[in-house]
Amino acid sequence: MRLNEALKYAVQIADALAQAHAAGIIHRDLKPSNIMMAENGLVKVLDFGLAKLTETATGEFGETATIRAEEDPRTEEGTIVGTVAYMSPEQAEGKKVDARSDIFSFGSLLYEMITGPRAFQGQTKVSTLSAILHQEPKPASEIADEAPHELQKIIARCLRKNPDRRFQHMADLKVALEELKEESESGSAVAPIAVAGVAVWVLARSERTPEAALVPVPLTSYPGDEWAPSFSPDGNQVAFAWNGPSQDNYDIYVKLVGTGPPVRLTSDPADDLSPAWSPDGRFIAFLRMLSNERSAVFLIPAIGGPERKVAEVNSQAWFPDSKWLATIDQPPGKPSAVFLVSVEAVRRKG
C-alpha cells in the first residue's frame, strides 16, 4: 500500500482493537482476511471467533482492567489457536496471552501492509512458527523505500519477542501512528533512504573537514514556560509542566520525543508542577499547589484519565516497583521528614 493509505487504515485498526481491549476482549486471530473496508473507507475488524473473553472490572485510578474468565477448552494454556503467520511468540508456544499478543499480530499485519511480504514465513507451519520464535524480519525500511525511520521503529517495537518490550497498550500505539500519519501528510516524515544518502555524504566529507560540534535541540519550543521534564522509562515520551498557550496556568503535558503536539493531561485551576513518570510507565505523579505553603501529590494515567490525590506533601519520587512514593513533608510543629506513601493503598481507598 502507499504509505499514507496504510497509515490511515492502520490507525483505524488500532482504534478498533483498543476499543476491544478496553472492553476486555483479546482478538487472537488478527490477519488480513479479518480486516474489511466499507465503501466509505471505514475499516472493520471482524471474526472474533477465537477471541479470549474476559470479565471487566474497574482497575486502579478508574482504568478498565481485565480478569481472566473461565475459558473455552480451545483457549486454555497449552493449546495453540490462531493463524500461524500472524500469531505472537507466546501464542505460538501455547502460553497465556494478553492484549500485547494482539499488538504483535498488528505489527505483522502493518509490516505486510507497508512491504508486501509477510514478516514471518516458512515452507511449513513449523518453520513459520520457528521464524516467529527465533528470527527477526528484514527491516521494513529496506523493502519499502518510502517507509520513514519512525515507522520502522514502531513496527520493530510491535514485533519484539518479549511482550514487556512491546507497546503495552494499543491506545498508545494508535497515538504513535496518528502522529506519524500527521507528519507524513505534512511532508515532514523522511524516508531512511534519504537519511542514508546524507550519511554517506557526511562520511565522505569527514576525512576533509573537522567534525561539527554537537548542537542541542529543544524538545519543546512553545510560548511561555516549559520546565521540570520527566522522560518515560522507554525514553520515547517526555512529561513536563507548561503554563499553556495563554500563559495563565501550569498544567502537565506529555509528548512523543521529536514528533507532534503535546497532549494536555491536567486542567485544574491550581498550578500542576514537577511531573515524575512511574518506573513501569503507566502513571505520572505530579504536585498541585494548594496554597503558598501546601501542595499535594496526584497520580494520573500516562495516557490520560481520572486523577487521584495521594497525599499533601512538598515533593515526591517513585520507588522502582511503582508501588510506593517517597515524599518530603513537614508536619505541624515537627521537622521535615521523608515519608513513604503506598500507591496500592490509595487505589484501595479510591
Alpha helices in 116-191 (DSSP H): 125-134, 140-143, 149-158, 170-186
| Strand blocks (E) in the chain | 25-26, 35-37, 43-45, 52-58, 64-68, 226-231, 237-242, 251-256, 263-264, 272-277, 283-289, 295-301, 308-313, 315-318, 324-329, 337-342
- Which residue of the set 29, 251, 272, 329 is catalytic? 29
Three-class HEC string of 28-60: CCCCHHHEEECCCCCEEECCCCCCEEEEEEECH
Q: How far is CA 336 from CA 103, 283, 328, 339, 340, in A?
A: 47, 27, 7, 10, 13
Please list, in sequence order, all residues whose beta carbon lies within 8 angstroms of the beta carbon of residue 254, skipping any fewer than 6 positions away.
Answer: 237, 238, 239, 262, 263, 265, 284, 302
Contacts of 158 (CB under 8 A, 6+ apart): 103, 104, 106, 107, 108, 110, 166, 167, 173
Grid coordinates representing 80 are: 495453540
**Residue 29 catalytic?**
yes
Question: Following DSSP, what letter does each residue of 322-340 receive, concatenated?
Answer: SSEEEEEE--TTS--EEEE
Largest CA distance in the chain: 76
Which active-site residues does the annotation give? 29
